[in-house]
Structure 1
């Protein structure tokens, strides 16, 4: 079997990234890209690579995933994640977990160790613990920065002022969801997405990130995709599957990514970003927010940026 050149794309959220946070976003994406691509260079699977890259991003407090996540309205971190193997058509997802340091690793356990696809809340945590993951105190995931953001948002709400940090009021305010898609040397593709959700969200709210075909999808007959952005419109359009279906029909990933984001904006006035990768190594990046932290590594080497214009 002919070996193919591995490809890895990562993203760290599509929104209006403040000037003082941009270098941290560049560095975070760069580190995740390097560690994920190192897996591929050693002959590792696409699934291993996206898990490794997203784990780095979850551990980086710059992003809204695991450590440093936005807080629910009662001051807790609730996280969602999905991992999908396009070669085997296996998927594992968790949602509303509070006591796991790396939800993407719990998603991998669901994919590999269960005939089920999706676990939520306490059941997801217990499943992960049964398979070797340690449970932590939720407070270990909470940063003072996020406590202050929550306090400010709730004070504005009480005063009847618009909350420019809550995605429901300002879709450009912050969408730090993280994700990765990869192609390995055996021609297998995979995708992963992880998030802490939106600021001041109702406990129990689940966004697009961990839903198959919405914020994450992979199929070796079409493409691998990870999205970031305003979750509710993405869910309504099942946008990840929409994009991969276009690739399967013959559209180039670059064109399909742009078309998907345009469709989201036209149909539901949504804001998002997308990374999209086909099994032949072609890829696309698109966003309709001012910035999106992104990185790609292929035969041409690593590149990172905060805007992508094609």
Structure 2
């Protein structure tokens, strides 16, 4: 089978400020270029989503890798998942503090372990044993996020509410990618630093199979971004790909998933979907979502408004 390669990525769905749009589009373009170059050379969908997400982890504009939101105690804690739609193999890590690219560690779990999921120090030990260098957590912390945390905690002290998940949808910049390679295989990857001012040890939807990420050649590949707790409760990634398997188009399933998220639990977020036939879907109910798509017809990217 020879299929047309496709790469669809997102850089978060949230209340993105006007002065952040250009930087998000630049980061999306770089990630698309890195991932699609592998697909053009016959690389696997797994390779492509890993490469695209790693580029976004290295870009400080996104809530993934360096530049992520900080926990209540001022640290970066990262989660990531990678899933192969051809085999249903998956690798995930959560609450890692000393890995620059958690999606690379997730790939190692997928390739090198009979297990699916590692957390905390165990995930870091596994990654180091398989050749990944560890960093100091402060290497992942940037002044912009320290200032953002100080403001959030000051607002809490002033009695303006819990800023862990709230604020004007200001804490949802997870990154993700879905791809189809020339063999028709699908893959998905999602990576995040979580929510602003989160409790240490909190894990959101991004690295949980069927919640923020899923891939199956018989249905679709999906990556989500947004407020993780409602997404987890609905197992929304699996909900969406099951709709595609039942006959809905990826666009229909994406819109239905976001509507379900809000109608059932008042949740906010965004979703990208890619079917085995190459059809795509994306939807969000946040003010903006950064996204990019590349096929043999070229690249498209932007920051859509809701």
Q: Does TM, scored on the shorter chain, surpass 0.5?
A: yes
Offset of residue 169 of structure 1? 2.0
Structure 1 segments unaligned to the other structure (5+ residues): none
Offset of residue 34 of structure 1? 1.1
Offset of residue 243 of structure 1? 0.2
Contact 2:205 2:232 in 1 (8 A): yes
Q: CA RMSD in A?
A: 1.0
Q: Does 1:266 pair with 2:240?
A: no
Which residue in the other structure is 1:152 paired with? 151
Which residue in the other structure is 2:292 paired with? 295
Offset of residue 172 of structure 1? 1.5
Offset of residue 59 of structure 1? 0.1
Which residue in the other structure is 1:255 paired with? 252
Which residue in the other structure is 2:73 paired with? 74
Q: Aligned partners of 2:193, 2:227: CA distance in 1, in Å?
A: 13
Aligned residue runs from structure 1 range 35-184, under 5 A: 35-162=34-161, 166=163, 168-170=165-167, 172-184=169-181
Which residue in the other structure is 1:228 paired with? 225
Contact 1:14 1:174 in 2 (8 A): no
Other structure's SS at 1:235 match: helix
Residues 220-268 of structure 1 deviation map (CA, whole Å, 9 limit, x = unaligned): 1110000000000000000000000000011000100000000101000
Q: Aligned partners of 2:256, 2:103: CA distance in 1, in Å?
A: 28
Q: Aligned partners of 1:20, 1:80: CA distance in 2, in Å?
A: 27
Q: Aligned partners of 1:190, 1:308: CA distance in 2, in Å?
A: 27
Aligned length: 306
Contact 2:287 2:305 in 1 (8 A): no
Which residue in the other structure is 1:23 paired with? 22
Runs (4+) of structure 1 moved beyond 4 Å? Answer: none
Structure 2 segments unaligned to the other structure (5+ residues): none
What TM-score comes out, normalization by structure 1 length? 0.97
Offset of residue 298 of structure 1? 1.3
What TM-score comes out, normalization by structure 2 length? 0.98
